[in-house]
Amino acid sequence: MNPVITDIEQEEKLHQVDFIIGYLKAGDEETIVSYLEQLHAAEIASLLESLPPDLRQQLWQLLPQNLEGETLTYLGDEARNSIIGEMEHHEVVAATESMDVEDLAEVMEELPEDVSEAVLKSLDEDRRRRLENTLSFAEDSAGRLMSTDVISVRKDVSLAVVLRYLRRLKPLPHHTDALMVIDENGTYLGKLSLAITVTENPDAQVADVMQAGADSVHADADEDDVALLFERRDLISVAVVDEQNKLLGRITVDNVVDIILAKADKALLASGGLVEDEDLFAAVVPSAKRRAIWLGINLITVFMAAWVIGRFELVLDKFVALAILMPVVASMGGIAGSQTLTLTIRGLALGQVSSSNLRWLGNKELSVGLLNGFAWAMVVAIVTYFWFQDAGIALIIAAAMMLNLIAAAFSGVLIPVVLSKMGIDPALSGAVVLTTVTDIVGFLSFLGLATLFLL
């Protein structure tokens, strides 16, 4: 479950930023170091991302070395690259020594080739082998996400043997809720709950109390599918297997929470035409280039709508009321369409929309568009009549609004589905396409009907 950020927590975060900036400017390094030692690595990463580049580098230089590796794993790509870019090779190597293999794999892909080679040379044989194995899987796959730090037991031993084995292993890996059960060939058979391990008769065999055939995911599975599995099955951990069903590792709920938060962040940024992990204090020129693309696309769509309006100069010159009322039709269509668009994108992300239920969804949204279109068309018609004392314009805007809300509902379902099938993220481009459709349909229907019946 995503944490709820309260007003008090927001105030504390702002207080932390003000506190750090104040002491950095004052040069009180001792106080800053003492303060950083009390924070979690995720909080330090958030502080670093909240600082302009020069202050960010100052704070990083004061960070205790034992916190550097874990802090790097919590930073967004751009912020992390801005810090690593200022570090010496030996400093990067030292920072990565304490990283888990799966975190190190993520960082390695962002490092310059000479730095990554230096990091590889510093690893012992076991860590290098595990890292190379992790990097062999596709990005955003279960194999890249999994941890190989997993405890497995055989099904033909007693719980007493398992308990003795666990005592020798302490401490257990984080988020160990169950042990993975395998056969003599390493084939995954199921899970043995820790709760059962410590409460059942020690003489019981693992095979008798294990959860046979417990959920597992293939190493090549997409991380979004893994997140859905955790959500639907309320899992804490899941086994990762290869094509022969051999146990490779496990994925835990903390990894899945990271995926969900990253997706939410991506969707929020995409709605503004921004890229994932964009640094709040990134350099001006790269930021301007990224945003210029979507500003240019938006400009094209605006000119398309303006061209439609230009086709009706005659009727606009004769009826000033039409120019005043045009934004009403387009705006109502845009809002109605964005509501449908948001629901459809969410349904696609959750795997709830498919070809078999798409018609039902479309019919439902069209019905909603008809109902809302009729209700608000009547309201707008009445307001228009009393404003301009013209029944013809009132009826025309009512009809145009009906048409635009129906088009908005249809487009809100169709656009994200089509974009998704084309391999384009609908969260990134769906709103731009939808706005273009509702603007053009709104202006075309309103001014077109006015031309037909008023001239």
Residue 201 predicted with pLDDT over 90 = yes
Q: What percent of the chain has pLDDT over 90?
A: 38
Helix (H) or strand (E) holding 140: none
Answer yes or no: do 135 and 156 share one domain: no
Torsion of CA 43, 49, 55, 56, to 10 degrees: 80
Mean pLDDT of the chain: 86
Output the pLDDT for position 165.
Answer: 93
In this structure, are 316 and 378 located in the same domain? yes
Q: Which residues of 227-263 are buried (b: 16+ CB within 10 A; e: fewer)?
A: bbbbeeeebebbbbbeeeeebbbbbbeebbeebeebb
Confidence of residue 146 (pLDDT cuts 50, 70, 90): very high
Last residue of a domain, one of 140, 165, 186: 140
The 3-state DSSP class for residue 188 equals strand
Spatial separation of the C-alpha atoms in residues 309 and 89, rounded to whole Å:
60
Supply the range of the domain harboring residue 390. Answer: 284-454
pTM exceeding 0.75: no
pLDDT of res. 270: 61
pLDDT tens by residue, 205-217:
999 999 998 999 9
If asked whether residues 166 and 136 sit together in one domain, one would say no
Q: Note whether 412 and 339 are within 8 A (CB).
A: yes
Domain boundary (140, 173, 202) is at 140
Within a domain: 393: yes
Domain total of the chain: 3
Q: Domain containing 445 — which CATH number?
A: 1.10.357.20
Q: Which of 89, 112, 140 is the last residue of a domain?
A: 140
Confidence category of residue 11, pLDDT binned at 50, 70, 90: very low
Q: Answer yes or no: do 85 and 25 share one domain.
A: yes
* pLDDT tens digits along 350-399: 677 888 888 899 999 999 989 998 999 999 999 999 998 989 999 999 99
- pLDDT digit string (tens) for 310-320? 888 888 877 88
Predicted pLDDT of residue 274: 57
Pairing mode of beta strands 237-241, 216-218: parallel
The predicted structure's pLDDT at residue 271: 56
Residue 271 lies in a domain: no
Are residue 156 and residue 230 in the same domain, yes or no?
A: yes
In the predicted model, what is the mean pLDDT of residues 257-269? 72
Note whether residue 57 is domain-resident: yes
